[in-house]
């Protein structure tokens, strides 16, 4: 099931997307997937980031080829950092280039959406704590990532966390293609089986360090091929089995 969050005539609602139709949920789909009976056309609604999390956790250096391209060692355990929720934007929203950086880059990433509170969970319990998966773009001011000791600023500017277009609740993350394109030109092309730490390892590890709440998002790391985005660019992040997240650069 594809679960979307959207603005319908000023109300924020969740719905299940099937082709060009959206069936509205009666309430919050994290609690119940009961439908209200109301259906609207997908082009009648403005899609929002598919979830409003309490936090966005990111895993860095989770593909060996990406660590190599930015001259970093592969970590011994998942490398965690945070993006502020003020960075989140939805499908079609603009990524705004901050004046502090001359090198803003895109990173297509598989995003895990947590369904159930998780603290100290084992790898075998991870699947039952996941609501679904969406697409994230870990937009990064690469120059600031290297000039600052911490990554908070480089990864945390407003609009640096596009999410969407929806959450796919029936998705097997083990062997899926990830692509990013800028102006229609391929920039990243990888497969999730090349992740150093898999979804079970990541969620279990994160839950040993911080409590995860329903709706929290974990970005699982970027494959190689990161490259600069500039004013006016049309940026697409695609994951096989989920869809395409498209944003323009302003």
Q: How far is the CB of 180 from Mg ion (least distance, A)?
A: 12
Q: E strands of 170-216, at which residues?
A: 177-182, 185-191
Q: Where are the alpha helices (DSSP H) in 53-163?
A: 64-69, 142-147, 152-156
Q: How far is the CB of 60 from Mg ion (least distance, A)?
A: 6
Query: Of 125-144, which residues contact Mg ion (CB under 5 A)?
Result: 138
Which segment (87-95, 99-107, 171-179, 231-239) binds Mg ion by CB under 5 A?
99-107
Q: Which is nearer to Mg ion, 118 or 219 (CB)?
A: 219
Q: Binding of Mg ion at residue 105 (CB under 5 A)?
A: no
Q: Which is nearer to Mg ion, 16 or 159 (CB)?
A: 159
Q: Binding of Mg ion at residue 222 (CB under 5 A)?
A: yes
| Cα separations in angstroms, 20 against 15, 17, 23, 40, 44 | 12, 7, 10, 9, 10
Q: How far is the CB of 89 from Mg ion (least distance, A)?
A: 16
Which segment (13-21, 77-85, 105-113, 235-243) binds Mg ion by CB under 5 A?
105-113
C-alpha 215, offset from chain centre? 12
The residue at minimum Cβ distance from Mg ion is: 138
Among 93, 107, 236, 238, binds Mg ion (CB under 5 A): 107
Q: Binding of Mg ion at residue 62 (CB under 5 A)?
A: no
Beta carbons of 199 and 206 less than 8 angstroms apart: no
In the shown chain, the binding pattern of residues 14 to 33 toward Mg ion, with x for contact by CB under 5 A and - for none, equals: --------------------
In angstroms, the CA 117 to CA 174 distance is: 23
Nearest to 123 by CA among 234, 182, 60, 198: 198
| Cα separations in angstroms, 78 against 37, 119, 169, 205 | 43, 17, 24, 7
Dihedral sign for Cα atoms in the order 218, 223, 227, 230: negative
Q: How far is the CB of 210 from Mg ion (least distance, A)?
A: 18
Q: Which two tokens stand for residue 144?
A: 């600031």
Q: Which is nearer to Mg ion, 25 or 63 (CB)?
A: 63
Footprint of Mg ion (CB under 5 A) = 107, 138, 222
């Amino acid at each position: 099931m594809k679960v979307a969050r959207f603005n319908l005539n000023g109300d924020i609602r969740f719905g299940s997307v099937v082709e060009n139709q959206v069936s509205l949920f009666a309430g919050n789909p994290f609690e119940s997937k009961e439908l209200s009976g109301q259906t609207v056309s997908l082009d009648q609604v403005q899609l929002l980031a598919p979830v409003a999390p309490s936090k966005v956790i990111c895993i860095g250096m989770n593909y060996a080829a990406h660590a190599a391209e930015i001259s970093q060692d592969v970590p011994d355990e998942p490398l965690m950092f945070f993006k502020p929720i003020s960075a989140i934007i939805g499908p079609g929203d603009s990524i705004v280039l901050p004046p502090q950086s001359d090198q803003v880059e895109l990173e297509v990433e598989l995003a895990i959406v947590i369904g159930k509170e998780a603290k100290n969970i084992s790898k075998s319990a991870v699947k039952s704590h996941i609501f679904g998966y969406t697409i994230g773009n870990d937009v990064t001011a690469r120059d600031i990532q290297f000039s600052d000791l911490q990554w908070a600023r480089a990864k945390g500017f407003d609009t640096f966390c596009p999410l969407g277009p929806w959450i796919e609740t029936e998705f097997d993350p083990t062997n899926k293609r990830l692509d990013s394109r800028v102006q229609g030109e391929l920039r990243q092309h990888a497969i999730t089986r090349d992740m150093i730490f898999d979804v079970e390892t990541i969620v279990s590890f994160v839950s040993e360090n911080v409590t995860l709440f329903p709706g929290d998002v974990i970005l699982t790391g970027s494959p190689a091929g990161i490259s600069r985005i500039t004013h006016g660019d049309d940026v697409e992040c695609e994951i096989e089995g989920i869809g395409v997240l498209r944003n323009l650069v302003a």
